[in-house]
């Protein structure tokens, strides 16, 4: 039967968890004390556990790098959409009456935020469909509309 190194590691970890109880048992029972590990073997066992722990960490790290996980997927998407999220956040902060441009440290950041507002405005303006009320308001003669006529 093939035994993998990680099975041995997990078995040794469980042994370390119950080592105190086994020590007490070996002190009380001479037949168990004869079979139990001596100090030299206990040190070798501890060294083996340290080595296998390092292998476990390295294997886990290498496997995580080669297979997509939630963490790597989320991180990749955040990086991909950060520019969109960042510009939307900046627009909402600038339009907030309480913060406006106060949160930006220097004039360059403030100018960038203002430019983002202008870009957003121009984008929405380009998508705006001309309405009857808007067309009539641009004529030379001003007309008043009731809310029912306007909408």
Contact criterion met (CB below 8 Å) for 64 and 72: yes
- Residue 32 and residue 26 in contact, taking contact as beta carbons nearer than 8 Å: yes
pLDDT for residue 132: 47
pLDDT digits (tens, 9 = 90+) for 80-120: 776 666 777 788 877 877 777 887 778 888 888 889 888 88
- Residue 16 · residue 49 · CB < 8 Å: yes
Instruction: Give the pLDDT score at 53.
Output: 92
Confidence (pTM): 0.41
pLDDT at 128: 75
| pLDDT for position 19 | 87
pLDDT of residue 130: 62
What integer pLDDT is reported at residue 120 of this predicted model? 85
Instruction: Delimit the domains of the chain by residue range.
Output: 5-66, 70-150
Q: What is the pLDDT of residue 138?
A: 54
Output phi, psi for 64, to 5 deg: -65, -30
Residues 6+ away with beta carbon under 8 Å from 127: none
Residue 9's CB is within 10 A of a number of other CB atoms, namely 17
What mean pLDDT is reported for the chain? 77
Write out residues in the chain with pLDDT < 70, as ranges. 1-3, 64-72, 74-75, 78, 82-85, 129-151
């Amino acid at each position: 039967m093939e035994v993998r190194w990680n099975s041995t590691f997990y078995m040794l970890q469980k042994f370390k968890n119950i080592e105190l109880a086994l020590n007490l048992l070996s002190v009380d029972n001479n037949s168990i004390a004869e079979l139990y590990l001596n100090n030299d073997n206990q040190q070798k066992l501890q060294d083996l556990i340290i080595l296998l722990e390092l292998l476990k960490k390295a294997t886990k790290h290498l496997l995580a790098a080669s297979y997509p996980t939630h963490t790597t997927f989320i991180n990749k998407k955040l990086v991909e959409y950060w520019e969109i999220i960042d510009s939307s956040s900046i627009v909402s902060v600038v339009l907030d009456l309480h913060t406006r441009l106060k949160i930006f440290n220097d004039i360059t950041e403030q100018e960038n935020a203002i430019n983002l507002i202008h870009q957003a405005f121009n984008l929405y303006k380009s998508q705006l469909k001309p309405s009857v009320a808007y067309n009539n308001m641009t004529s030379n003669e001003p007309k008043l509309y009731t809310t029912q006529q306007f909408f």
